[in-house]
Amino acid sequence: MRLLILSATTGGGHMAAANAIKEYVMMKDPSAVVKIIDALEYVSPFLNKAVTGGYVYMVRNLPKVYGSFYNSWDDLDTTAVNKTLGLTTHTVINRLLPLVNEFEPDIVVTTHAIGAEMITVLKNEGVIDIPVISIVTDFAIHQFYLLNDGVNAYIVSSREMVDQVVSRGVDRVKVYPYGIPVKQGFFKEIDRKATFESEGLDESIPTVLIMAGSFGVSDVLKIYHKIVKSTAEFQIIVITGKNEKLYETFNRYLRKITINNTLVEFREYAKATAKATKPQKPAAKSKPPAKPKPISKNLKPSKPTKLLYYTDEVDKYMHMADLIVTKPGGLTVTESIASNLPMAIFKAIPGQEEQNAEFLVSKNMAVQLKKDNTCTETITELLGNNGKLDEMKKSIKSFAKGNSAANLYILMLELIERYRNKQ
């Protein structure tokens, strides 16, 4: 098999899905040739920088504007969208053709709407005739995925999405609710005892995983500060991803503890503790020996916390966790579902993440954390009530679609064979 995967870097989930597909194909067929291409970067580095840079800026600084933009484009008629994008699309689209002609793929899989748009334009113009599979990496469809006919199969995250796609004019036989492909490690159990020991954590108490890379620095600290106020007993794993500023800021934060809701340096606490417990020199005979002054009764150290920078072992840490605190990006959500891990969602970006969050909460696979102090109460309730977490895990199990990459691989072979017999 010669497989071309077209992806994009507007968010990490699209490339992660592409790599998950490659991993599975190479596992099943070591002789396969798989090429992953950032489609927008390939045809125009300048355009890619403008699009991805604009996306990152808007979701971080103008999320409501981004949400309005996202929703307004979704409401436009397909023909109108195509006319709007026509000049840009046809200016750069032919730059993809030499790659296709040189690589000669048996099939093309896209993990971003941009890649699907590009390859189907070439297909509809009759310059290529290759089967195309489009993977929708969220839990609600957007019009952008449906701009051009020419896609042979759409991979979506749920049966509800099948109806959404069909309602927009796509033949039902083309829509497959396989879910978003993830690494195979998310489907494998871990040796819990050995893993917790190697990570220096306590297997006997609940573990909260915070996937923090896409949060702002202040957002993460606020979330963490609210969570550690919980009266429930648990430990925390924080993964900052490739966010150096967040990692360094969080590292400094973890050297502090809370005394009467005021952050105090750990070294100051240690110094105060040593002074309070150190034997005092005998006082004058006329006075009894002074007793050590106790530290404030309200002193509560932070929850045991393990801080990680970028890691390619997210699957391991998800299997260790009892609850994940995260933004509802499509891939992270799918990885959590594959790991049977309940979710606590914070600060969903207006647009696709809000739609993801609404779907997950409606299916009892997630709860929403609010900015106010109910965040602390929600965490306490979840971790102090195993019944609630168990219910969420049952909901996740009933929803889980199995191994998407495995089903996708079979579908790819079928489409390749169909096209070969057609010629």
Per domain, the residue ranges of the chain are 2-179+402-422, 187-254+302-399
Question: What letter represents residue 266's amino acid?
Answer: F
Q: Which residues, listed in sequence order, are joined to residue 34 by a DSSP beta bridge? A: 3
Give the H or E element holding residue 345.
Answer: strand 343-346
Strands 207-211, 256-259: parallel, antiparallel or unpaired by DSSP?
unpaired
2-179+402-422 and 187-254+302-399 agree in CATH topology? yes
Give the whole-angstrom CA distance, residue 333 versus residue 180: 9
Alpha-carbon distance 29 to 263, whole Å? 55
Mean pLDDT computed over every residue of the chain: 81
Ranking 43-47, 171-175, 324-328 by mean pLDDT, the lowest is 43-47
3-class state of residue 340 by DSSP: coil
Handedness of CA 131, 135, 140, 144 (dihedral sign): negative
User: Per residue in 190-203, pLDDT tens?
Assistant: 999 999 999 999 99
CA–CA separation, 58 and 49 (whole Å): 14
Q: Does residue 350 carry a pLDDT above 50?
A: yes
pLDDT per position as a tens digit, 113-134: 888 888 988 888 888 899 999 9
Q: Are 229 and 221 in contact (CB under 8 A)?
A: no
Q: State the DSSP code for 70.
A: H
- Fold (topology level) of 2-179+402-422: Rossmann fold (3.40.50)
Residue 183 pLDDT exceeds 90: yes
Structure confidence at residue 359 as a pLDDT band (50, 70, 90): very high
Judged by average pLDDT, the poorest of 157-161, 264-268, 333-337 is 264-268
Q: What does the pLDDT read at residue 294?
A: 42
Which residues contact residue 222 at a Cβ distance below 8 angstroms, ignoring those fewer than 6 apart?
371
Percent of the chain topping pLDDT 70: 79
Tell me what the mean pLDDT of segment 259-274 comes to.
Answer: 47
Pick the CATH number of 187-254+302-399 from 3.40.228.10, 3.40.1000.10, 3.40.50.2000, 3.20.20.70: 3.40.50.2000
pLDDT tens digits for range 62-104: 768 777 777 766 666 655 555 545 445 565 677 888 999 999 9
> Within a 10 A sphere around the Cβ of 379, how many other Cβ atoms?
25
pLDDT at 299 over 50: no
pLDDT for position 173 = 95
> Does residue 357 surpass a pLDDT of 50?
yes
* Spatial contact of 11 and 213, defined as CB atoms under 8 Å apart: no
pTM given for the model: 0.81
Long-range Cβ pairs for the range 125-129 (8 Å, 24+): 127/97, 128/97, 128/100, 129/419
